Structure 1
Amino acid sequence: MWISTSFFMMLHIPLRTETTSLMSSGKTLRKGVRKMKREILYPELTTLYGDGGNMLLLKQCCNDAVFRETGLEEVPWFVSEDVDFICIGSMSEPKQLLVREKLKPYKERIRELIEKGTVFLVTGNAMELFGQYIEDRKERMEMLGIFDYHAQRNLDKRLNYIVLAQYEKLPVVGVKSQFSQIHGLDNHHFLKMVKGLGDNEGSEFEGIHYRNFFGTYCLGPLLVYNPQFTKHLLELCGQKGEIVFEKELEEAYYERLRKYRHPDSPVVLGHGFI
């Protein structure tokens, strides 16, 4: 069972809004209860490869949260507020430099929030922004420098792989499509690979998990593909319980897990694989 675009139509939430799920459900918070604050950075640029599906799913799951979608010309909410969750997804390579410039004035605030335990979900090539630099055959581009790793990019070689991996005891599935490989990430690994590409062609690990910061090239969207990990992520934000469409998402997850574990399943994927 594969999740199709009709699944996201069921979620029925437009992008570029500030929403409170309680308003649509008719529920009200108890007096004195603090609303969770969750921020999506630059959704007009960072929803490639279906990464917008992570945001749509989270909105439906979080009945006690206010979501802020920060546009490119806006000051991020996290600058002045202690948000509980920050999400940024895949973008085109030229847009990486634009987003870097927007985030650069706030890199110390980002570092502070990471150390405080704010939950970050950083998917696709957004992960490269938080490293030291991106290097290709033409130039070296400095990034935010939050972590010690760097990205080696080759625009002539797109890497398309399935992801079958372990996060602690939890199997994780997904797909990857990238021009860059990560080097210098020697600890704080997110995933232990079973099938597919790690940080680079010589690595058995993928992504970064430091405190509550999760950075990975794993797409799908990641949260739609992995409902158990989604529940874990929400628990880190202080929310427990079932998620929307949990039965359907679990069925799709276990079917995909079965296919990926099959010894004849492809590891390298062609065009139009997502």
Structure 2
Amino acid sequence: MGDQETTGAQAPPLVLTVAGSDSGGGAGIQADLKTMLALGVHGMSVLTAVTAQNSRGVHGVWDLPAEAVRAQYRAVADDIGVHAVKTGMLSSAELVELVAELIGSTAAPAVVDPVSVSKHGDPLLAASALDAVRGRLLPAATVVTPNLDEVAQLTGVRVEDESGMRRAAAALLEFGPRWVLVKGGHLAGEAVDLLTDGAEEHWLRAPRLDNRHTHGTGCTLASAIASHLALGLPVPEAVAGAKEYVTGAIAAGFRLGSGIGPVDHGWRTRGR
């Protein structure tokens, strides 16, 4: 054979998640990679933090050094390549600024999930990092996916109805992302989200499901959007497909431990 290269199947689209680890396996890097596998892309990871976490909450957080985050990112991007990037937990201003620089230098769409608080109410973003998110990370985003608590932290807009979602989206667009997805899951009634680029609006609606096991919903949605973008879908179709996937995952969410269980990333393969 000599030095002839061994042939193999063509790689699927490549998606890189830049996020923290959830030792309970329901959110963070673990949720991202499960989502990517379920949607037919190759998931790769840059670990930004390690958490001690279970169904009852976050019991410890340890950030990785900035040089470790940069080295992971460059190792993947410079050799393997990237078709889409998703960012999650970035707990310090230093990490936010670094990741903004990295995704800004990558010719691929970036989905930014501005994680600030865990499902259990544990803070995951230092208050001192908010200015870096607004000024550095959001301008680098193709799509930013805040929930209503994150909207309030970033813009000061308190959303109580759909007109408030419009105001929040307009405020977020002023920071420079191409698209904003305001997630209205904390409102009463149906689960409604607003996607807009300032010129067009897409309202995404789904029935509200009676299932408390929703750990990892935000991570899963952002990763599903990135996966669909890597597969070549335009932003509105990528977000609509991600919403459909997450709705099914929430419906199939299961009990784990004594607290809030995760959504089921493999619900399609189990026929749920």
Q: TM-score, normalised by structure 2?
A: 0.39
Which is helix-richer, 1 or 2? 2
Which is strand-richer, 1 or 2? 1
Q: TM-score, normalised by structure 1?
A: 0.39
